[in-house]
């Protein structure tokens, strides 16, 4: 492969498969075959498979100078450690991913949460380019998010800032996986939306399966005039408005950027969402409110991981500052 510009090996680790590729800016230059996670019995086996794919990609693109990895679960961005993968059963303990990948590839590696990578892609390359503060929401199987404040990804003390799917919209609501009540992703994740649709269809004497109630199915049904599907999108917009309103009052960002399967409903979601927000938000701020569709789709994870890693490699990210702070502490 003839490509001489600096480029990045990128990883987007999903719940069922791992996407890997080579990126340069907003371009994906090449991709490897997806790696299914269910076939492995240990984290080490998964890492070995990623190393093999990465070495193959690097052979095609010798100008690759850094690797970026987006991983679901609890990531320590500064030390490159992954504590737990929520959707991969065998990954239930701390693993020094950055160290293992660097030893095998001889390249610097940057590791972050996958929702942060999606946010980074939109901030640096997509709908949020040029903004200093924004919130990215991705609405799919779960509700993920990344927050940028004053030109920095917000990570927090335990590196778990932006777990917006666990934000409560009802203090007596459904119990979540950690004992919290009313988490929004217990209501409007893809699976929860499908289950609610099946229930409502059944109440009207219509038999549907969850496989017939995907966001796309509900989109088509609503546009055909189905009152059940229309009301589902109205209710989804009302719940999403609750989350956005709370974030608006807390952060007042330049924009909210919304991506993922549920967000593809377009005006079916956006019209009632904006109506709900107008009824609850301070008028002066409402005039400045921007709710934008994400520029990128499924490619956001790879592009964001690649862009984040390249910025670190060029000395424009936060890891270099972290290293200097650690050295300063050691000298004191």
CATH number of the domain enclosing 199 = 3.30.420.40
Name the phi and psi angles at 18, rounded to 5: -115, 125
Name the phi and psi angles at 89, rounded to 5: -55, -40
The C-alpha R_g of the chain, in whole angstroms, comes to: 21
Of the two residues 23 and 279, the one the predictor is more confident about is 23
Q: Are residues 139 and 188 in the same domain?
A: yes
Q: Are residues 88 and 169 in the same domain?
A: no
pLDDT of residue 87: 65
67 touches 108 (CB < 8 A): yes
Count of domains for the chain: 2
Is the pLDDT confidence value at 162 over 90?
A: no
- Separation CA 39–CA 104 (nearest Å): 22
**35 domain residue, yes or no:** yes
- Separation CA 313–CA 315 (nearest Å): 5
Q: Are residues 68 and 24 in the same domain?
A: yes
233-255 pLDDT tens trace: 999 999 999 999 999 989 999 99
Q: Are residues 160 and 193 in the same domain?
A: yes
- CB contact burial 316-332 (16+ within 10 A = b; e otherwise): ebebeeeeeeeeeeeee
Q: What is the pTM of this model?
A: 0.87
Indicate the range of 130-134, 212-216, 264-268 predicted with least confidence: 264-268
41 touches 52 (CB < 8 A): no
Q: Are residues 198 and 284 in the same domain?
A: yes
Q: Are residues 189 and 214 in the same domain?
A: yes
pLDDT of residue 4: 83
What is the number of other CB atoms lying within 10 angstroms of the CB of residue 209?
Answer: 9
Instruction: Calculate mean pLDDT across residues 37-66.
Output: 93
Q: Are residues 139 and 237 in the same domain?
A: yes
Q: Are residues 147 and 236 in the same domain?
A: yes
Structural domain of 16: 7-113+298-331
- Separation CA 160–CA 95 (nearest Å): 17
Q: Are residues 197 and 266 in the same domain?
A: yes
pLDDT of residue 331: 53
Q: For the chain, how far is it from start to end, CA to CA, in angstroms?
A: 49
Q: Are residues 139 and 278 in the same domain?
A: yes
Instruction: Calculate mean pLDDT across residues 97-110.
Output: 95
Name the phi and psi angles at 225, rounded to 5: 95, 10
Quick one: which of 77, 5, 91 has its CA closest to 49?
Answer: 91
Q: Are residues 226 and 102 in the same domain?
A: no
Largest CA distance in the chain: 73
Instruction: Calculate mean pLDDT across residues 124-148.
Output: 91
Indicate the range of 70-74, 132-136, 298-302 predicted with least confidence: 70-74
**95 domain residue, yes or no:** yes
Indicate the range of 34-38, 63-67, 95-99 predicted with least confidence: 34-38
Q: Are residues 135 and 269 in the same domain?
A: yes
**106 domain residue, yes or no:** yes
**118 domain residue, yes or no:** no
Most confident region among 11-15, 174-178, 315-319 by mean pLDDT: 11-15
- Separation CA 75–CA 44 (nearest Å): 17
Indicate the range of 20-34, 98-112, 311-325 predicted with least confidence: 311-325
């Amino acid at each position: 492969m003839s490509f001489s510009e600096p480029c990045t090996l990128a990883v987007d680790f999903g719940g069922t498969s791992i996407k890997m590729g080579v990126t340069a800016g907003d371009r994906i230059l090449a991709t490897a075959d997806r790696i299914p996670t269910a076939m492995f019995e240990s984290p080490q086996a998964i890492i070995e498979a990623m190393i093999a794919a990465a070495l193959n990609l690097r052979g095609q693109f010798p100008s690759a100078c850094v690797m970026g990895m987006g991983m679901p679960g609890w990531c320590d961005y500064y030390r490159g450690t992954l504590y737990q993968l929520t959707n991969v059963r065998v990954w239930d303990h701390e693993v020094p991913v950055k160290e293992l990948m660097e030893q095998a590839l001889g390249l610097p590696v940057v590791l972050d949460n996958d929702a942060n990578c999606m946010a980074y892609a939109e901030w640096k390359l997509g709908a949020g380019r040029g903004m200093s503060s924004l919130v990215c929401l991705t609405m799919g199987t779960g509700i993920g998010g990344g927050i940028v404040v004053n030109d920095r990804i917000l990570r927090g003390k335990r590196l778990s800032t932006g777990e917006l799917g666990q934000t409560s919209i009802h203090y007596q609501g459904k119990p979540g996986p950690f004992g919290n009540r009313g988490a929004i992703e217990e209501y409007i994740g893809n699976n929860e939306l499908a289950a609610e649709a099946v229930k409502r269809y059944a109440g009207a004497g219509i038999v549907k399966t969850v496989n017939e109630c995907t966001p796309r199915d509900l989109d088509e049904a609503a546009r055909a005039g189905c009152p059940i599907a229309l009301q589902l999108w109205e209710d989804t917009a009302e719940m999403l408005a609750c989350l956005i309103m709370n974030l608006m009052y807390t952060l007042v960002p330049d924009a909210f950027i919304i991506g993922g399967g549920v967000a593809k409903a377009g005006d079916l979601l956006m019209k009632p969402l904006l109506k709900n927000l107008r009824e609850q938000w301070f008028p002066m701020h409402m005039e400045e409110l921007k709710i934008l569709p994400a520029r990128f789709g499924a490619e956001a994870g790879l592009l964001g991981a690649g862009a984040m890693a390249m910025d670190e490699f060029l000395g424009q990210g936060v890891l270099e500052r972290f290293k200097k702070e650690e050295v300063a502490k050691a000298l004191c």
